Structure 1
């Protein structure tokens, strides 16, 4: 992991249309209730099997509710062979610290009542 990035810096990157992938690691239900516009949902428990989809990215920012699980996610992503050259950061404070707009969408799923922080680290 290459450190933490502030929510304000993430907002500036997105406003500038920078080449950054924002990966929200919450459950699909939590993601559907509100997420950073343009982010993609890769639930924490699916990350080990889906990390290859992030290969070739130049910059990746992980996001969770409070900025704790996203640190573990960023470490996992950075350790993957296909993302070692990418800049991988965790958004400090998580969505709780996000001051920008949230987008909602995607159909509600049966997982909508899942705890937002995600399960314990699988590694």
Structure 2
């Protein structure tokens, strides 16, 4: 069973002193349309080849549009070295359940190139 966290709990953590790393596993196009503020985009298809972006994080919350791909992301992340000590959770319901603000545009892409 994959650990899930409610969108409300994610919002509270993001306002706290030690916020989690929010990894949006949506495609770049989906991410550009709207994402949790401060999240990074690592599309699910690229996740394994970009584990360095999450390695070392103490708390990771995976996010996707509907909460399905993020469950897969949690399973993948939990299986790799460098994440074994991390708390890794999927945001239940995905962005469809998120009532908080959304940012638009791209962050630094999954390949490390700057995006605008």
Q: If the length of structure 2 is used for normalisation, what is the TM-score?
A: 0.87
**Structure 2: gaps (5+ residues):** 108-116
Give the secondary-structure state (helix, strand or coil) at the position aligned to 1:18.
coil
Shift of 1:46: 0.3
Asked if the contact 1:2/1:87 (under 8 Å) is kept, the reply is no
Q: Does 1:33 align with 2:33?
A: yes
Q: Which residue of 2 aligns with 1:67?
A: 67
Q: Which residue of 2 aligns with 1:22?
A: 22
Q: Which residue of 2 aligns with 1:81?
A: 81
| RMSD over equivalenced CA pairs, Å | 1.5
Q: Which residue of 2 aligns with 1:10?
A: 10
Q: If the length of structure 1 is used for normalisation, what is the TM-score?
A: 0.82
**Structure 1: gaps (5+ residues):** 108-123
Deviations 1:25-84 (A, max 9, x none): 011111111100000000010001011321110000000111111011011011111000
| Aligned residues between the structures | 107
Q: Which residue of 2 aligns with 1:42?
A: 42
CA–CA separation in structure 2 for the residues paired with 1:69 and 1:2? 12
Which deviates further from its counterpart, 88-97 or 9-18?
Answer: 9-18
